[in-house]
Chains A and B, each alone.
Chain A
Amino acid sequence: MVAVNETSRPVRYDVRGLAEPDAEAPKTARIDGDSAVIDAADLSPRLINLELRRLVYGEDIRNVTITNPGAKHSVAVGLLARCRITIDGSLGYFACTLGDGPEIHVTGRVGWSLGENMMSGVVVVDKNAGSLTGAALRGGDLVIRGHVGARTGIDQKGGTILVGGNTGSMTGFMMQRGRQIICGDAGPGLGDSMYDGSIYVAGKVASLGVDCVEEEMGPEDHELLDRKFRIYRMDKPDTFRKFVCGKQLYNYDTLEPSERKLVL
């Protein structure tokens, strides 16, 4: 995949668009049958991801544990296969993003933009998460047992975000589809400018955002909540309220002065 051009100083580039086409997996993982352990203490995020790819795609190992992740950024990114990854510790920004299929369990906490643009799969975080959790999420389940920061599920286009604790301001900002289930309190501006989808909140809501309204809970909502809480063995609070888009921003309801003249 590495090409060499015809000038006297060869420039190497990679058709996959990698910044370091020559980077190779460190091959330091301990493989035991169909599972493996990567010690990430001395590895850069790039090397961790290369090693992870080597195991999942190259060696067909579907059970990988990463130890000593040290809150590094962009770990377990872009995995497009069914596999089970356990992160034994905490991760930094962009953890478990762009995935399609993996089931990832993080025993510590994560930074900003957890599971951004995930297509399918499951990510479970035992502790807290930063802001922008599940940004542009397309599918799958994102479960955070602790608290999350601001702008949870911004631009969410599908999937489910389940939060055991509180969320910060502008939760569900510009959300377009999918579901958010928040067991604790939600910060100001909940569901601001959301297009569609539903947000369930069990605790207090500081304030609703523009064009976000409360709706009656139906039997299908209770069925969904019961199912999700059963899957992840979490206690379901019985005070859930449902918030959806008021759809007042779908069309203009005021006319420009020049348009008004035309109408009259």
Chain B
Amino acid sequence: MCGIAGIIHLDGPGDVGREMTKMLQSMKHRGPDSAGYALYGEPKDHLVMRFKLADPNDTSDFDFSERLERSRREVESRLSKIGASVDRVDGESAYAYRAEFRYEGELKPLADYVENIPGCEVLSLGHSLEIVKDLGDANTVAGQYKLDAFRGTHAIGHVRMATESDVDIAGAHPYWAYPFSDVAVVHNGQLTNYHQWRRRLERSGHRFQSECDSEIIAVYLAERLADGLSLETAMKQSLEDLDGVFTYLVVTEDSLGMAKDEMAAKPLVLHQADNLVALASEESAIRAVLPQEIDSYDPYEKEVLVWSR
């Protein structure tokens, strides 16, 4: 089933961390397996990288913490070797980290080099994007990663009921549009031509971290954006190329977009005001942040909408 939610403030930053938690928590019944956030803070000069070095399902054997520490040092040393000047690396949970560094070169070699460390996955990389995802409901994840204090302009989130792959962080949404800076995707549905697209994208040099069909959308869009297409054009093209039932949300540094398949098989409720756009699988999620009586509607089949802050 899964639940997706998005919010964008069109007139300056708001408490997107707290708002997204409320929205996702109200849709817990749609997906209790994991919760994930893609949050956009104020754009910074340096890059922010969120990564994990183990999975909550991993057994903590006797040298677990030493191994994590070794891997963490290896990430730092690899960042330095490739030419980044590391400002700080903070532990966010037992196995997830947040690094700040300055780097001018291409992101793909950097991400590939860092991910070559066993157990390492880069969750997000960009000047304002931060992806946080873990097992449990939204309140659990928000508490663990202290997201209530996060201020920013826009965010998307996802609560997952696993159908196509395992319950682990790799299978949790949102997906960073690797290796494209500051782009992330959440998805509700199933893609039926997943293997076809995965083989195609792998042949053009992309890597996949999970067996989850939704990762395709993120990498597909990233490739189209790299070809120079606008976000809206890339999304419209995805409706022709992707097969299955889906509603997905995509965020970039300054915009939030939604797309719906030609059957309109998956739900989405949309509320549009002058200063705010909120959309979610269920209206109760929008009500969690806007309790007053509001106007909302369901976008129709094959609809692609993009808002920029």
Contact = CB atoms under 8 A, between A and B. Distances in A.
Interface string B279-293: 000111011000101
A147 B297 contact: yes
A246 interface: no
A111 B3 CA distance: 14
Contacts of A111: 267, 269, 282-283
A17 B287 CA distance: 32
B293 A90 contact: yes
A252 to B, nearest CB: 27
Interface string B92-106: 000000000000000
* Interface secondary structure of A, over-half rule: loop
A111 B296 CA distance: 10
Contacts of B291: 70
B259 to A, nearest CB: 15
Contacts of A169: 262-264, 300-301
A108 B264 contact: no
Interface stretch (A2-10, A125-133, A216-224, A231-239): A125-133
Nearest to A111: B283
A128 B300 contact: no
Interface string A161-193: 000001011100000000000000001100000
Contact of B301 (A92, A127, A130, A188): A188
B295 interface: yes
Query: Which of A71, A89, A131 gathers most chain B CB within 10 Å?
Result: A71
Contact of B297 (A73, A93, A128, A187): A128
Contact of A187 (B284, B286, B293, B300): B300
Contacts of B267: 111-112, 130-131
What band does the interface of chain A fall in when counting residues whose beta carbon is under 8 Å from B? Answer: 20 to 34
Contacts of A145: none
Contact of A130 (B262, B284, B293, B298): B298
Contacts of B282: 71, 73, 92-93, 111
B258 to A, nearest CB: 14
Given A111-B269, A130-B267, A131-B264, A168 B283 contact: no
A128 B283 CA distance: 12
B263 A71 contact: no
Contacts of A70: 284, 287, 291
A149 B264 contact: yes
Nearest to B291: A70
Interface of B: 262-265, 267, 269, 282-284, 286-287, 291, 293, 295-298, 300-301
10 closest Cβ pairs, A-B complex: A71-B283, A150-B264, A149-B298, A169-B301, A71-B284, A128-B297, A168-B300, A71-B287, A130-B298, A70-B287
Given A112-B267, A149-B298, 8 more contacts: A70-B291, A71-B283, A92-B283, A111-B269, A128-B295, A150-B265, A168-B301, A188-B301
